[in-house]
Amino acid sequence: MGLAAMVAQQGDSRTMTTRILTGITTTGTPHLGNYAGAIRPAIVASRDSDADSFYFLADYHALIKCDDPLRIQRSRLEIAATWLACGLDIERVTFYRQSDIPEIPELTWLLTCVAGKGLLNRAHAYKASVDKNLAEGEDADAGVTMGLFSYPVLMAADILMFNANKVPVGRDQIQHVEMARDIGQRFNHLFGAGREYFVAPEALIEESVATLPGLDGRKMSKSYDNTIPLFGSAKQLRDAVNRIVTDSRAPGEPKDADSAHLFTLFQAFASAEQAAAFRADLAGGLAWGEAKQRLFELLDGELAQAREHYNALMQKPGEIEDMLQAGALKARRIATPFLGELREAVGLRSFREQVQVAGAGKKKAVKAARFVSFREQDGSFRFRFLSAEGEELLLSRPFADPKAVGVVTARLLAQGADALELRADEGAQFTLWLDGECVADSPAHATPEALEAAMLRLRAAVAALAE
C-alpha cells in the first residue's frame, strides 16, 4: 500500500486534509537507498489530494551530529536539489529549511520548559551514548552535548509547530514522534484551559517501502560504505553496479533470484513483468555480468532525467535559495500567528493588554477574555479577541503599526459592550466597526442563530473585560 493510501485508510481524512510532515537531516549526500526508502514514497504521497505535505531540511538537527560547516552547507544544497529534481512540487507542498523558521527554536524553548528530563533520559540516541561511555569506563555523559540530549524537543517543535497529523519516519524515529505527542499533550494540559493547542501526531511507518540492500547485501547505508550514488554520473552508477557482490556461479548455471540482493535491487525499480522476466532469465543461467548490465539500464532509465534536472539545479543555487525562501514564507504564515498564541498562552503577553486586564482585578486576570496582538508576515499588525475559554471572537483587519492595535482595543473597551457597532452581513460572518471603518471580522458561523449567539458572547466578553 502506498503512503497516501495508508493515510487515507487510517481515517480522519474524509472531510479534512491530513497534514503530513517530515524532516531530512542534512548531513550526507542522498543515495539510492534514501531515494527508494524516503524520497520517492514521500513525493508520491504529496500528490494525493487529501494530503497537505510539509517537507523540510532539518539543518538544526544536522548541527548536532556534524561540526563541519562546509559539509553542512553542501549537504543542504544537495538534498534540496535532490528533492526538487525528483519531482517535489513546491506549489503543492510546503518545502523549507528548518533554520529559516525562527519560530521553531522559540517553540523549542517553550517545549523545553514542559518536557520532563526523565522523558529525555530515555531517548534511544542519548541512551546509546551513555551505554557506550559506561561500557568504556568513561563518565556517563562524556562527549554528550545538550544538543544531543534535547534532540527530541527540537523535533517535537518541528512537528507541533505545524500541528502535523502524520509523521512518516523510519523505525528509529518512532520514539521521537511519541515524545512529541507527550510534550504537546503536556503543554495542552498546562496552558490550554480547555483548548487543544497541539494535535497528537502519529508516526507513519510504511511497511511496503523497500529497505534496499547495499553493494555487499547489508542494508544500504553510508556507515557501511556500500551505497549506490543517486545522482553521480552514468559512469559512477555503472561502476557501483559492477561492484555488487554476487555468488560465484558461472554463466549458464541457474541462479536463484531470491538469494541475490542484485535481484532485490532490481525489483525495487522494476514492474512486476520486468521482475518476473529477470527472475526467469537468472534461473535460465543469465551471466552475472549480463544481469548487472540490465540492472544498470533499469536504474539509469529511472534516474537519467532527474539526474539532468539535478545537475541543472546545482548550477543555479540562487534559484534553489529563492524556492526555499518562498517555502519559508509559506510556513511562517502558519508559524508566526500560532507562536503568538502560544506565547500568549504561557504568559508572554504585551503589557498594553496587561493594563486592561489588571483593571479587571487580579483574580480575574487569568480567566478573562483577552486581546492577542501579533505581527503578520507582511509586517502589518493584527489582534485576535479571545473569550476566557479561548474561543476566537474576532480577528482584526491589518494595521500598519502596533500602536494602532493598542488604540483600537482600548477604544473598544472604553466604549463598552452596548456601544459596539456590529454588522451582520448576508453570509455567516459579522464585522465590527469603529468611526465608520471596519476594524475586525468574526469567524464564520453556520446559522443565523449561531451568528446571533456569537455576537452576544462578544458583547458579554467586552463587558466583562471593561468592568
With contacts defined by CB under 6 A, name the span among 151-159, 205-213, 298-306, 427-435 that binds ligand TRP.
151-159
Q: Interface with ligand TRP includes 34 (CB under 6 A)? A: no
Nearer to ligand TRP, 128 or 366 (CB): 128
Is residue 20 a contact residue for ligand TRP (CB under 6 A)? no
Give the position of cell 533470484.
257
Torsion of Cα atoms, 276 then 281 then 287 then 288, to 10°: 10
Nearest residue to ligand TRP, scored by beta-carbon proximity = 23
Q: How far is the CB of 157 from ligand TRP (least distance, A)?
A: 9
- Nearest approach in angstroms of CB 167 to ligand TRP is 5
Contact 151/145 with Cβ under 8 angstroms? no
Determine contact, residues 185/200, Cβ cutoff 8 Å: yes
Does residue 158 touch ligand TRP according to CB under 6 A? Answer: yes
Minimum CB separation from ligand TRP for residue 180, in Å?
8
Among the listed residues 18, 22, 267, 350, the single contact to ligand TRP using CB under 6 A: 22
Out of 123, 169, 241, 299, point to the residue binding ligand TRP (CB under 6 A): 169
Write out the DSSP string of 135-201: HTT--TTTT--HHHHHHHHHHHHHHHHTT-SEEE--GGGHHHHHHHHHHHHHHHHHH-TT---S---
Binding segment for ligand TRP among 87-95, 102-110, 153-161, 424-432 (CB under 6 A)? Answer: 153-161
Nearer to ligand TRP, 100 or 281 (CB): 100
Residue 120, number of CB atoms within 10 A of its CB: 17
Decide: is 25 part of the binding site for ligand TRP (CB under 6 A): yes
Q: Of the two residues 80 and 417, which places its CB atom closer to ligand TRP in the complex?
A: 80
- Binding window for ligand TRP (CB under 6 A); candidates: 20-28, 41-49, 236-244, 282-290: 20-28
Q: Per rule CB under 6 A, is residue 409 in the interface with ligand TRP?
A: no
**Residues near ligand TRP (CB under 6 A), total:** 12
> Using the rule CB under 6 A, is 58 a contact of ligand TRP?
yes
Among 86, 159, 335, 393, which residue sits at the site for ligand TRP (rule: CB under 6 A)? Answer: 159
- From the CB of 25, what's the least distance to ligand TRP, in Å? 4
DSSP class of residue 115? S
Measured CA to CA, the distance from residue 114 to residue 111 in angstroms comes to: 5
C-alpha distance from residue 52 to each of 92, 155, 419 (Å)? 8, 19, 43
What string of DSSP letters covers 276-333?
Answer: HHHHHHHHTT--HHHHHHHHHHHHHHHHHHHHHHHHHHHT-HHHHHHHHHHHHHHHHH
Q: In a 10 Å sphere around its CB, with 0-12 CB exposed, 13-18 middle and 19+ buried, how is residue 446 labelled? A: exposed
* Residues in 175-194 at the binding interface with ligand TRP, rule: CB under 6 A: none
Torsions phi, psi of 245, nearest 5?
-80, 130
Specify the pairing of strand 437-441 against strand 430-434. antiparallel
Q: Is 72 in the site for ligand TRP (CB under 6 A)?
A: no
Q: Which residues bind ligand TRP (CB under 6 A)?
A: 21-23, 25, 58, 61, 155, 158-159, 167, 169, 173
